[in-house]
Amino acid sequence: MFIRVTSLVALWSFLVSAAAAADISGASEFQRYCALCHGPDGRGVGFVTEGENVHKAADLTQISRRNKGAFPFTKVAAIIRHGGGVMEHTSRLMPSWGTFYGENVDPVFTDAMLFRLTQYVEGLQDK
């Protein structure tokens, strides 16, 4: 009986997490959190990073160009999840969005949000 209840609770938690994530788009999350540094268009000039003597955020529209025309989805997702400093040429100033979204509390929701954010960044690429 205990195993059945535990399984039902786990299933319910998964469904609630998936439903919550389904209502949030990568675009809305990008504008809410990422645009402060990367700018609303992803070109690296946001409210926090404009001005002199300020560390500039990466121009997210040029990721594919810097990678011989291919968007490195897994690498970008890892940078978003773990924050800056996990890959070469990334700033340590970028926070860990995996921690922000609570990957230790609700990994299903976190994975869904990070996937959507990465998809959105992929869509920002200059053609």
Q: Where are the domains of the chain?
A: 2-123
Q: What number is the average pLDDT over the span 22-35?
A: 89
d(CA 49, CA 40): 12
- Which of residues 89 and 108 earns the better pLDDT score? 108
pLDDT of 94 above 50:
yes
Q: What per-residue confidence (pLDDT) applies to 104? A: 76
Mean pLDDT of 37-59: 85
The residues near 31 (Cβ < 8 Å, ≥ 6 apart) are 40
2-123 fold: Cytochrome Bc1 Complex; Chain D, domain 2 (1.10.760)
Burial bucket for residue 10 (CB in 10 Å: 0-12, 13-18, 19+): exposed
Structural tokens at position 67: 């990678």
- The pTM for the full model equals 0.77
